[in-house]
Amino acid sequence: MSTLHGIGVSPGRILGPVRRMADAIDSPQDTDASVRQAPGYVEDSTARLKQAGQAVAAGLRARAEQADPAGADVLSATALMATDSMLHKTAGKALAAGRGLEPAIWEAAETVAAMLTSLGGYMAERAADVYDVRSRIIAELRGVPAPGIPDSATEFILLARDLAPADTATLDPVRVIALVTSEGGPQSHTAILARALGIPAIVAATGAESIPEGTDIYVDGAAGTVCTAPGDEQRVAAQAFAARAPLEIFDGHGTTADGRRVPLLANVGGGADAGAAAAAGAEGVGLLRTEFCFLGRDTEPGHDEQVAAYGAVFAEFPRKKVVVRTLDAGADKPLPFLTDASEPNPALGVRGFRTDTGAPGVLARQLAAIAEAAAAHQAQVKVMAPMISTAQEATDFAALCTVAGLPDSGIMVEVPSAAVRAASVLRPVAFASIGTNDLTQYTMAADRQLAPLSALNDPWQPAVLELIRLTVSGAEAAGTSSGPIPPVGVCGEAAADPALAVVLVGLGIASLSMTARALAPVAAVLRTVTYAQASGLATLALEAEGPAQARTAVRSALPILDELGL
Ligand code: PEP
Ligand code: MG
């Protein structure tokens, strides 16, 4: 039996056949001139293109019938584009001008996408569909599988290099029973999605790309291991996992064994998420990512639209805490009207709160919309700013919030300078929430999207834990000098790892915010340790030589993890 090692990002033990995600299609080479100039080439090629477009459209329509309403909309829109007359006419002109079959459709798609982009708004969003059908048409012409998630009537383990955010629209967790990627880091989109769907997942599994299609493999999402020739032991483990008593529903009361309250909150990206989080027992919202209202737009959303979007979240949590994070544009979340796509180093660029300097007004208008929505609902609304680096920025943000009538303001600690200087950076605000995803990438100088750096990009890194400890002690100092101690929560992915959640509580973290699916497992594990035990485990992790030693030391002291298959 051969075992591959990656980083487990979503627990669960499962055995099943592998289906591979076909690679993206690269820009095609032109065919030989003698072929292109042969009599009948243009007519034959035009007919082949038409047929390929129809076949692609038919395949997409068939999938739309099986998909949920949101996925069906995406697939139906893409199907229409596959037979779009402008796309085919433009390709026909390129063929007539002497281009080969594949370059003709490739370049036609470029032209049509540019035209749609220039129209802006809804039309600009269709440009992605044009690129998608272009790849599908070329795959059809070549007789190879279409790029993207494979179609399958039966369950499978998806093997991919990494998933693009667009791939996730059609990922059906009923068919895709586990996810293994050879790239991607623990804070990547893939990892966040897998946790939200509750399917076992492993990222950065080097060697996974060579597992043949159809092979039965065993995935242990907690251990981060893939067995490529599973035996009886793995079969029994997978069966036992499938038959385990389901984790009790979270009862809405996060606590340690000795009764120390640790509110368990949800990370949400809009009203629908908030509804699911409320149903899962979340004690409130610890992170509302307001980008959902802005992304994919080329103009700022209007006041009423924003009020309605935020209100849809507040309505789900009457009398409960909802922490709204103001717009975090930039880096992997570019916005044409706010961020500069030509920055050489966008993660270190004008992103998060920093965009307020170059484009003042967007943040103040967002705060006004949040305040109006808050006034219309009973949720206890708080606001926090992303990417705060200095005490001056914290002061400026708090002042803007006061003007908007939102006195309960806080900051995210995701830049090491804010952690190191927490005693002064937290003084102007009422609370802090540590974004461990960005704090890890900036502490380790390791891009959170990059697989080769995933060992560095791990929130178990003792350096990251040390910064969390410093933030908590800085908050205590900020409080003793000028009033109450600002509570420090965590809303990065680290909070969703039940073992790391115990360490965070032991470090003095006051609340944990996570994807709704993680609430029950985190609550179940937290309830087995006293605060003193959690503090002891935090010390173990802080003193470990590296992240693997920290993880192993803490996990081996928490037998409940194995019992629950976490
Ligand atoms: C974080 O950085 O940990 C965080 C919660 O923010 P995001 O993942 O949205 O950057
Ligand atoms: Mg962040």
HSE of 19, CA atoms in CB hemisphere, 13 A: 19
pLDDT (mean) for 1-25: 87
Could you give the CA distance from residue 409 to residue 401 in angstroms, rounded to a whole number? 7
pLDDT at residue 471 is higher than 70: yes
Q: Which atom of ligand 1 is nearest to the CA of 491?
A: 5
Reported confidence tier of residue 68, pLDDT bands at 50, 70, 90: low
Q: Of 139-143, 277-281, 407-411, give the lowest mean pLDDT range.
A: 139-143
Residues 220 and 280 both lie in one domain: no
Q: Tell me the CA–centroid distance for residue 41 and ligand 1, in Å.
A: 53
Pocket-testing residue among 9, 353, 412, ligand 1, by greatest number of atoms within 8 A of Cβ: 412
Residue where the block lists tokens 């509804």: 275
Residues 208 and 290 both lie in one domain: no
pLDDT at residue 400 is higher than 90: yes
Could you give the CA distance from residue 494 to residue 517 in angstroms, rounded to a whole number? 14
Residue ending a domain, choose from 115, 140, 165: 140
Q: Tell me the CA–centroid distance for residue 392 and ligand 1, in Å.
A: 22
Q: Is 401 a catalytic residue?
A: no
Structural domain includes residue 1? yes
Say if CB 258 and CB 266 are below 8 A apart. no
Could you give the CA distance from residue 103 to residue 97 in angstroms, rounded to a whole number? 12
Each residue's pLDDT tens digit, 256-275: 999 999 999 999 999 999 99
Q: Can you give the CATH number for the domain in which 179 is found? A: 3.50.30.10
Residue 243 CB partners (closer than 8 Å, separation 6+)? none
Structural domain includes residue 145? no
Residue type, 430: A
Residues 400 and 271 both lie in one domain: yes
Q: Tell me the CA–centroid distance for residue 111 and ligand 2, in Å.
A: 36
Query: Best-predicted range by mean pLDDT among 42-51, 356-365, 368-377?
Result: 368-377
Q: Nearest Cα to 508, choosing from 533, 541, 473?
A: 473
Q: Can you give the CATH number for the domain in which 313 is found? A: 3.20.20.60
- Crossing angle of helices 101-119 and 41-66, rounded to 10°: 60
Structural domain includes residue 466? no
Q: Which atom of ligand 1 is nearest to the CA of 414?
A: 2
Q: Which ligand sits closest to the CA of 436?
A: 1
Pocket-testing residue among 189, 285, 289, 348, ligand 1, by greatest number of atoms within 8 A of Cβ: 289
For the chain, the distance separating the N- and C-terminal CA atoms, rounded to the nearest angstrom, is 23
Reported confidence tier of residue 117, pLDDT bands at 50, 70, 90: confident
DSSP state of 244: S
Q: Which ligand sits closest to the CA of 434?
A: 1
Helix, strand, coil shares of the chain as percentages rounded to 5?
A: 50, 15, 35
Could you give the CA distance from residue 390 to residue 426 in angstroms, rounded to a whole number? 9
Q: Which ligand sits closest to the CA of 437?
A: 1
Residue where the block lists tokens 């910064």: 467
Note the pLDDT of residue 65. Answer: 80
DSSP state of 347: G
Q: Which helix (H) or strand (E) holds 112?
A: helix 101-119
Residues 15 and 74 both lie in one domain: no
Say if CB 441 and CB 422 are below 8 A apart. no
Q: Which helix (H) or strand (E) holds 5?
A: strand 3-5
Residue ending a domain, choose from 106, 140, 174: 140
Report the domain count for the chain: 3
Percent share of the chain, pLDDT over 90: 63
Please spell the DSSP secondary structure of 292-338, one letter per residue.
Answer: GGTTT-SSPPPHHHHHHHHHHHHTTSTTSEEEEEPP--BTTB--TTT
Residue 67 dihedral angles phi and psi, to the nearest 5°: -85, 165
More confident residue, 313 or 330: 313
Q: Classify 410 as helix, strand or coil.
A: strand
Structural domain includes residue 550? yes
Say if CB 528 and CB 562 are below 8 A apart. no
Residues 325 and 217 both lie in one domain: no
- Crossing angle of helices 101-119 and 127-142, rounded to 10°: 170
Q: Output the residue whose Cα is nearest ligand 1's atom 9.
A: 289
Mean pLDDT of the chain, nearest integer: 90
Residues 84 and 55 both lie in one domain: yes
Residues 116 and 156 both lie in one domain: no
Residues 104 and 188 both lie in one domain: no
Q: Tell me the CA–centroid distance for residue 458 and ligand 2, in Å.
A: 14
Range of the domain at 184: 1-20+151-241
pLDDT at residue 63 is higher than 80: no
Residue 65 CB partners (closer than 8 Å, separation 6+)? 72
Could you give the CA distance from residue 222 to residue 204 in angstroms, rounded to a whole number? 14
Residues 331 and 404 both lie in one domain: yes
Structural domain includes residue 458? no
Q: Is beta strand 431-434 parallel, antiparallel or unpaired with respect to 488-490? A: parallel
Note the pLDDT of residue 406. Answer: 96
* Cα–Cα distance list, 363 to 167, 270, 311, 425 (Å): 31, 18, 17, 20
Q: Tell me the CA–centroid distance for residue 441 and ligand 2, in Å.
A: 10
Pocket-testing residue among 323, 328, 444, ligand 1, by greatest number of atoms within 8 A of Cβ: 328
Q: Can you give the CATH number for the domain in which 48 is found? A: 1.10.274.10
Could you give the CA distance from residue 204 to residue 42 in angstroms, rounded to a whole number? 45
Residue where the block lists tokens 């042969």: 38
Structural domain includes residue 488? no
Note the pLDDT of residue 165. Answer: 57
Please spell the DSSP secondary structure of 150-201, one letter per residue.
Answer: PP-SS-EEEEES---GGGGGG--TTTEEEEEESS--TTSHHHHHHHHHT--E
More confident residue, 316 or 185: 316
Residues 386 and 501 both lie in one domain: yes
Could you give the CA distance from residue 12 to residue 200 in angstroms, rounded to a whole number? 5
Q: Which atom of ligand 1 is nearest to the CA of 492?
A: 3
Buried b (16+ CB within 10 A) or exposed e, 453-468: bbbbbbbbbbebbebb
**Residues marked as binding for Mg(2+)?**
414, 438
Q: Output the residue whose Cα is nearest ligand 1's atom 10.
A: 438
Percent share of the chain, pLDDT over 70: 95
Structural domain includes residue 442? no
Residue ending a domain, choose from 118, 140, 162: 140
Q: Is 253 a catalytic residue?
A: no
**Residues marked as binding?**
289, 325, 414, 437-438, 448
Say if CB 342 and CB 391 are below 8 A apart. no
**Residues marked as binding for phosphoenolpyruvate?**
289, 325, 437-438, 448
Say if CB 501 and CB 421 are below 8 A apart. no
Q: Which atom of ligand 1 is nearest to the CA of 187?
A: 8
Q: Tell me the CA–centroid distance for residue 387 and ligand 1, in Å.
A: 9
Q: Of 43-47, 122-126, 247-251, 562-566, give the lowest mean pLDDT range.
A: 122-126
Residue 197 in tokens: 């769907």
How far is C-alpha 94 from the geometric centre of its chain's CA atoms? 39
What residues pair up with 433 in beta bridges, in sequence order?
412, 489
pLDDT (mean) for 412-421: 98
pLDDT (mean) for 171-185: 85
Say if CB 324 and CB 370 are below 8 A apart. yes
Structural domain includes residue 454? no
Catalytic residue among 189, 227, 293, 377: 189
Say if CB 276 and CB 308 are below 8 A apart. no
Q: Output the residue whose Cα is nearest ligand 1's atom 1.
A: 435
| Pocket of ligand 1 from Cβ distances under 6 Å | 287, 289, 328, 414, 435-438, 491-492
Residues 384 and 504 both lie in one domain: yes
Reported confidence tier of residue 124, pLDDT bands at 50, 70, 90: low
Residues 327 and 405 both lie in one domain: yes
More confident residue, 339 or 235: 235
Q: Which atom of ligand 1 is nearest to the CA of 433?
A: 5
